[in-house]
A and B are shown apart, each in its own frame.
Chain A
Amino acid sequence: MTEKVEVLREHVIAVLRSQDVTVTATSQNLEAKSITYILQKGDVIEEQTFPPEVGRRMLQYLQRHFKVAIHLFFTLETITSKTVTPAIVPKPKTA
Chain B
Amino acid sequence: MKETMQPEQNKVAQNAGAEDCQIFYGKTPDGKLHIVGISALKVVIMKDGANWFAQGLDVDYAAEGVDVENAKQNFENGLVATIHQHIKAYNEPTKVLKPAPPEVWQEMFYAPLMGATISNVIHNKYYQMSVHSLEGNAAFQKFTLFKNIEYYVEVEEPIAA
Binding site for B on A (CB under 8 A): 2-6, 32-34, 36, 38, 43, 45-51, 53-58, 61, 64-65
The total of chain B residues at the interface (CB under 8 A) is: 28
Of the residues B46, B53, B61, contact of A46 by C-beta under 8 Å: B61
Complex interface residues of chain B between 36 and 63 (CB less than 8 A to chain A) = 46-51, 53, 55, 60-63
Question: With A43-B95, A58-B48 in contact, do A32 and B65 touch (Cβ < 8 Å)?
Answer: yes
- Within 8 Å CB of B46, what residues of A? 57
Some 23 contacts from A to B, beta carbons below 8 A apart, are: A4-B49, A6-B50, A32-B66, A36-B78, A38-B85, A43-B95, A46-B61, A46-B96, A47-B77, A47-B85, A48-B78, A49-B78, A51-B51, A51-B66, A53-B51, A54-B51, A55-B50, A55-B53, A56-B49, A58-B48, A58-B62, A61-B53, A64-B101
Residues of B within 8 A of A4 (CB): 49-50
Given contacts A5-B49, A53-B51, contact A47 B66 (CB under 8 A): no
B76-99 residues at the A interface, CB under 8 angstroms: 77-78, 81-82, 85-86, 89-90, 95-96
What is the minimal beta-carbon distance from B66 to any residue of chain A, in angstroms? 5
- Report whether A55 and B64 are in contact in the complex, using a CB–CB cutoff of 8 Å: yes
> Which residues of chain A come closer than 8 Å to B63, judged between CB atoms?
48-49
Q: Is the interface of B mostly helix, strand, loop or mixed?
A: mixed
Q: Which residues of chain A are within 8 angstroms of B53 by Cβ–Cβ distance?
A: 55, 57-58, 61
Cα of A49 to Cα of B90 in the assembled complex, Å? 22
Q: Contacts of B50 on A, CB cut-off 8 Å?
A: 4, 6, 53, 55
Q: Which residue of B lies closest to A7 (CB)?
A: B49
Q: Which residues from B are CB-within-8-Å of A3? A: 49
B49 touches A49 (CB 8 A): no
Set of chain A residues within 8 Å of B66, measured between Cβ atoms: 32-34, 51
User: Cα distance A51–B70 when bound, in Å?
Assistant: 10
Residues of A within 8 A of B95 (CB): 43
* Known A32-B70, A47-B77; 15 more pairs at CB < 8 Å: A6-B49, A6-B51, A32-B65, A34-B74, A43-B95, A45-B85, A46-B96, A47-B78, A48-B78, A49-B77, A53-B49, A55-B53, A56-B48, A57-B53, A57-B62
